[in-house]
């Protein structure tokens, strides 16, 4: 019976399947276990060698630090300072006995280091040398006592470095040849020191020191400086080690000098052999047990299947069975197709989200990105390889020349051509770039490079070439405006505002923007204080972010220093900054009177330096204030406060002061309570409500901008326009044109 079953094709397939299911995982797990053990032993070996290499490097660095400390000790000694003096006042003090005593002390100090051959103090002005072997004139010393090659002698006599370790050189000391490493250290912190300590590391002493303390784990030790060998130590191969054994090198930089340490260790290739026997035994046992278990399971499984097949062969025609199986496979195939389709849609949604988030990050860079360390991960997350060390230039591609914006196919074609032209141009100049859409110009282009660029007019050339190729391919002359080349992430914003100003001036000169008094006034402003930077400054001051707040103020200060503002413009700029500080001070319930009076006195005195310092001081005070935390009992009052603002935000009387009188609270308490309830500041919330209503009225085009300003709660049109530009990134006039 068993023979008949085993001869059945289905039975054999089931048996082989069970055998594979039971045996293959065991084999795989055994192999993985061996592999894991090998990796673990290799990791432990590497960690051990890394620790040993670090110990060797620290051992040498400690000795070099002792040499540094020796120089500091010598520079603090009174007799050294006296000998530095270019005068004969102390000659009587340094008689023969005194000089012998000094040389003996110097010799004892040199010998205590354990690796020095001898040492000396060189007085350049006197051309005199005090050494542990005697006092000499410099020429006599270098020609008869310690003889070096001319280049080494010149370096020792002209070096002014605080601490310098030279390359190994040959020394003839009283005609005795030595291999030494000169160590130079100035004993005076000036450009031209009057005394230089010169120590000579004896290669033989240093080698003995390394042999005694380096241990015996390594295969080879190499110390280099600027690709030149300082020291090399190679252990003799052991009897049980082959010279062909694999080895790897651990390189470590010196923390005390310009030396580089490279320690080579043997990588044993036989660490896994003791795992082989146990693995083979486990595999053999698994094959035997698995085969038996597979046979038993096959009999159990095959019994109902055999009965079912016998019934099917009698009661059901073959075509019917085939059609039934086929329908199940079709159902499985359709299910898989549906899952693949849903997965594709999910991937597309994720890509769209990442693209939108990436574009939003680029918009943040244009508006002014003042990152902290944790924010840099945001750039890396979206694949933006920007750092503060790179150089950037922002370019704007304006599509105002295209009057018919209803033909979307035509617009898409122009956008595709723009992408191709920009890519071709940037490849020609070997520059990285990012092209994306923005609000007040159709396209923005951030050009980046790790190296400085733009001094040779390359940016102007790129702009002209892109405009020319676009006109040639599209038939439209698209305006390409560029900013300045700046370094650092904040430089992207600086460059953007320069390009944006050029774009606005160009459109203004062509008559695309209506001539109004506000535009003329703003064009005359020569200081640099973008609205987006002001918003970020206010937000960071309110949340107490000291580092970013100081960073923004420092960038505003440095950028305006480049513009060489007049004193009048500087006073205006610092006054605007102080107005921002006072507004935030008022919102956090701090008395603004004393700060306003002190700043007013500085303005009257005309001391711009004091004004800048005071702005930084007040900013620091704001960031270090205590945060307010509401209790649950005040949330009911907060809800009533929020309801009142939602119903009366178009009234010009809605302010913190009036709300405080209405709810019998202080203005600062109202501000903090509102922030606790809504999560944002009162004025930000109020402006957002007003801006949404203003945009709706602007789209209807039934009211003048002056009337809209009064209808949404602003007393004058200038305040409305400034608030609209701050929160929407576009002026009301431009918004009306875009809404056409």
Both tokens of 161, joined, read: 């470095």
Question: What integer pLDDT is reported at residue 393 of this predicted model?
Answer: 93
pLDDT value of position 520: 38
CATH number of 531-733: 1.10.10.60
pLDDT at 87: 72
The Cα 177–Cα 202 span in angstroms is 11
Alpha carbon distance 221, 15 (integer Å): 60
Burial class (CB in 10 A: 0-12, 13-18, 19+), 695: middle
Tell me, what's the pLDDT at 489?
Answer: 86
Helix (H) or strand (E) segment spanning residue 147: strand 146-147
- Residues 37 and 281: their CA atoms lie apart, in Å, by 17
Rg (CA), the chain: 40
- What is the predicted pLDDT for the residue at 68? 87
Query: pLDDT per residue over 323-352, tens digit each?
Result: 444 433 343 355 567 668 878 887 877 777
* Same fold for the pair 352-511 and 531-733: no
Q: Are 13 and 5 in contact (CB under 8 A)?
A: no
Rounded to whole angstroms, the Cα distance separating 532 from 529 reads 9
On the CB side of 107, CA atoms within 13 Å amount to 11
Q: Going by C-beta distance under 8 Å and a sequence separation of 6 or more, which residues neighbour residue 358?
A: 382, 383, 384
705, 711 in Cβ contact below 8 A?
Answer: no
Q: Which residues pair with 435 in a beta bridge?
A: 445
Choosing among 3.50.40.10, 3.40.50.300, 1.10.3720.10, 3.30.70.1130, the CATH entry for 352-511 is 3.30.70.1130
Domain ranges of the chain: 77-215, 352-511, 531-733
Dist CA 497 CA 170 (whole Å): 62
Low-confidence stretches of the chain (pLDDT beneath 70): 1-10, 89-92, 159-161, 237-245, 268-279, 302, 304-336, 338-339, 353, 371-378, 401-407, 439-441, 510-525, 588-591, 625-635, 676-680, 739-740
Contact 516, 564 (CB under 8 A): no
How high is the pLDDT of residue 447?
A: 92
Q: Which of 124, 126, 125 is nearest to 155 (CA)?
A: 124
Superfamily for the 77-215 domain? PAS domain (3.30.450.20)
Q: Indicate the DSSP class of residue 585.
A: H
Q: Kindly provide the b/e burial profile for residues 208-237, where b requires at least 16 CB atoms within 10 angstroms of the residue's own CB.
A: ebbeeebeebbbebbbbbeeeebbebebee
Among residues 583, 536, 580, the alpha carbon closest in space to that of 555 is found at 536
Digit-coded pLDDT (tens) for 131-142: 878 888 888 888
Q: Which residues are CB-contacts of 627 (< 8 A; sequence separation ≥ 6)? A: 544
């Amino acid at each position: 019976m068993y023979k008949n079953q085993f001869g059945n094709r289905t039975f054999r397939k089931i048996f082989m399947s069970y055998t594979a299911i039971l045996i293959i995982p065991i084999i795989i797990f055994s192999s993985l276990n061996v592999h894991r053990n090998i990796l673990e032993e290799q990791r432990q070996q590497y960690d051990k060698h890394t620790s040993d290499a670090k110990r060797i490097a620290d051992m040498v660095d400690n000795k070099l630090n002792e040499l540094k400390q020796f120089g500091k000790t010598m520079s603090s000694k009174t007799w050294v300072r006296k000998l530095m003096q270019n005068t004969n006042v102390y000659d009587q003090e340094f008689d023969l006995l005194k000089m012998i005593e000094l040389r003996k002390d110097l010799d004892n100090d040199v010998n205590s280091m354990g690796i020095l051959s001898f040492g000396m103090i060189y007085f350049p002005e006197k051309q005199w040398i005090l050494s542990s072997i005697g006092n000499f004139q410099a020429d006599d010393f270098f020609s008869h006592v310690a003889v070096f090659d001319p280049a080494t002698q010149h370096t020792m006599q002209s070096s002014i470095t605080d601490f310098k370790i030279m390359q190994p050189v040959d020394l003839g000391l009283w005609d005795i040849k030595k291999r030494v490493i000169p160590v130079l250290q100035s004993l005076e912190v000036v450009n031209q020191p009057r005394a230089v300590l010169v120590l000579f590391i004896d290669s033989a002493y240093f080698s003995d020191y390394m042999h005694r303390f380096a241990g015996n784990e390594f295969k080879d030790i190499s110390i280099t400086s600027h690709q030149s060998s300082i020291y090399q130590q190679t252990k003799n191969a052991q009897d049980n080690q082959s010279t062909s054994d694999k080895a790897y090198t651990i390189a470590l930089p010196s923390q005390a000098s310009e030396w580089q340490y490279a320690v080579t260790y043997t990588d044993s290739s036989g660490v896994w052999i003791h795992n082989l026997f146990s693995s083979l035994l486990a595999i053999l046992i698994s094959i035997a047990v698995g085969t038996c278990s597979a046979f038993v399971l096959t009999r159990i499984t095959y019994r109902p299947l055999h009965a079912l097949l016998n019934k099917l062969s009698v009661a059901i025609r073959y075509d019917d069975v085939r059609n039934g199986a086929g329908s199940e496979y079709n159902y499985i195939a359709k299910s898989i197709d549906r899952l693949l389709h849903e997965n594709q849609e999910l991937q597309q949604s994720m890509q769209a989200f990442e693209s939108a988030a990436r574009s939003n990050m680029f918009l943040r860079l244009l508006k002014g990105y003042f990152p902290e360390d944790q924010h840099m991960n945001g750039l890396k997350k979206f694949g933006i390889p920007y750092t503060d060390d790179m150089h950037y230039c922002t370019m704007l591609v304006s599509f105002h020349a295209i009057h018919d914006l209803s033909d979307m196919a035509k617009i898409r074609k122009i956008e595709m051509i723009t992408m191709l032209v920009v890519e071709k141009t940037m490849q020609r100049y070997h520059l990285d770039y990012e092209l994306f859409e923005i609000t007040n110009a159709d396209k923005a282009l951030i050009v980046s490079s790790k190296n400085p660029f733009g001094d040779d007019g390359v940016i102007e050339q790129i702009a002209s070439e892109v405009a020319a190729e676009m006109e040639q391919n599209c038939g439209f002359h698209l305006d390409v405006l560029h900013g300045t080349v700046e370094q650092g992430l904040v430089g992207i914003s600086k460059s953007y505002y320069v390009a944006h100003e050029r774009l606005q001036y160009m459109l203004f000169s062509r008559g695309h923007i209506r001539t109004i008094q506000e535009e003329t006034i703003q064009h005359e402003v020569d200081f640099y204080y973008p609205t987006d930077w002001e918003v970020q400054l206010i937000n960071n001051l309110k949340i107490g972010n000291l580092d970013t707040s100081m960073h923004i103020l420092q960038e505003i200060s440095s950028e305006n220093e480049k513009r060489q503002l007049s004193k009048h413009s500087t006073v205006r700029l610092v006054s605007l900054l102080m107005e921002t500080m006072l507004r935030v001070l008022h919102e956090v319930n701090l008395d603004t009177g004393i700060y306003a009076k002190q700043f007013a006195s500085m303005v009257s005195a005309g001391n711009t330096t004091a004004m800048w310092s005071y702005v930084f001081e007040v900013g620091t005070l704001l960031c270090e204030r205590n945060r307010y935390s509401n209790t649950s009992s005040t949330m009911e009052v907060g809800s009533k406060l929020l309801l009142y603002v939602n119903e009366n935000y178009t009234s010009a009387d809605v302010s913190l002061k009036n709300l405080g009188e209405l709810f019998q609270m202080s203005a600062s308490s109202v501000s903090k309570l509102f922030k606790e309830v809504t999560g944002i500041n009162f004025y930000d919330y109020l402006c957002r409500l007003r801006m949404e209503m203003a945009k709706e009225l602007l789209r209807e085009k039934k009211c003048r901008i002056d009337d809209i300003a009064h209808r949404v709660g602003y007393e004058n049109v200038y305040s409305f326009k400034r608030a609209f530009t701050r929160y929407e990134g576009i002026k009301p006039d431009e918004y009306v044109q875009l809404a056409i």
